[in-house]
């Protein structure tokens, strides 16, 4: 049977090679070997996704590559999900987060990494996906009563919609019941302050630490 390091290596390779079948295989092997799904996700899948994201920003990979890598990661995550849910059911959830990439924006890599890292940290995460309308964020906030509403924007043209999320949550009378978090390549702490968001997530680790701190 493969060692934990070999399985994590296979999980990383699956993402970097955009190989969904290999990701599924690595996930199944990890469960059979009794490796924690959190380790496979953090050191295998998300670490490799971070690399893909860096290469995308540097212009050495393009959007189809990013989507193929995300697809591979999602395939692996599907295998791990039942075990993750079992583990999370045993431990008390720290809080609920709804997260999505803002409408008009089809980038999801950063958001996917933040969502899985929040899940690893023990939060209940509802991922709304990408190109999510402002109305959907508000409706889901009303329906699911999350602790945090998180929006990701990867383009300056779409980050302006993060203001609308703040405004519409206020109009719906929900703003004082939730914390808001913003993130994405063009987003800064200044922007978060300007629009009145509670948290600016500079990267996945920063986002997790700040969410945990604000909900503690």
Cα dihedral 173, 143, 118, 105 in deg (nearest 10): -80
Sequence-ordered alpha helix ranges (H) in the chain = 4-16, 20-32, 37-39, 47-58, 63-90, 109-120, 134-144, 156-159, 161-171, 189-195, 204-215
Report the percent of the chain where pLDDT is more than 70: 99
Give the whole-angstrom CA distance, residue 154 versus residue 185. 5
**Residue 97 pairs with which residues in a beta bridge?**
125, 148
pLDDT, greater one: 85 or 176: 176
Distance CA 62, CA 126 (A): 27
Top-level class of domain 4-90: mainly alpha
DSSP 3-state of 97: strand
pLDDT tens digits along 126-183: 999 999 999 999 999 999 999 999 999 988 999 999 999 999 999 999 999 999 999 9
Residue 108's pLDDT band, with cuts at 50, 70 and 90, is confident
Q: Is the pLDDT of residue 38 over 90?
A: no
- Tens-digit pLDDT profile for residues 41-80: 889 998 898 888 889 878 999 889 988 998 999 899 999 9
CATH architecture of 96-215: 3-Layer(aba) Sandwich (3.40)
> Per-domain residue ranges for the chain?
4-90, 96-215
């Amino acid at each position: 049977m493969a060692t934990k390091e070999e399985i994590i290596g296979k999980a990383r390779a699956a993402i970097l090679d955009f190989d969904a079948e290999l990701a599924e295989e690595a996930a199944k092997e990890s469960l059979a070997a009794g490796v924690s799904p959190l380790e496979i996700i953090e050191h295998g899948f998300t670490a490799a996704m971070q690399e893909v994201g860096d290469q995308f920003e540097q212009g050495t990979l393009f959007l189809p590559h990013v989507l193929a890598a995300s697809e591979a990661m999602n395939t692996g995550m599907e295998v791990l999900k039942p075990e993750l849910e079992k583990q999370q059911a045993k431990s008390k959830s720290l809080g609920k987060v709804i997260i999505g990439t803002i409408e008009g924006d089809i980038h999801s890599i950063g958001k996917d990494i933040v969502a899985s890292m929040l899940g690893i940290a023990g939060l209940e995460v509802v991922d709304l996906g990408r190109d999510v309308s402002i109305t959907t964020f508000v409706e889901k906030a009303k329906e699911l009563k999350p602790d945090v509403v998180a929006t990701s924007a990867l383009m300056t043209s779409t980050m302006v919609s993060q203001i609308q999320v703040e405004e519409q949550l206020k109009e719906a009378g929900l703003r004082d019941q939730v914390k808001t978090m913003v993130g994405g390549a063009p987003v800064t702490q200044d922007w978060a302050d300007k629009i009145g968001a509670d948290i600016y997530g500079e990267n996945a680790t920063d986002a997790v630490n700040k969410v945990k701190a604000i909900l503690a």
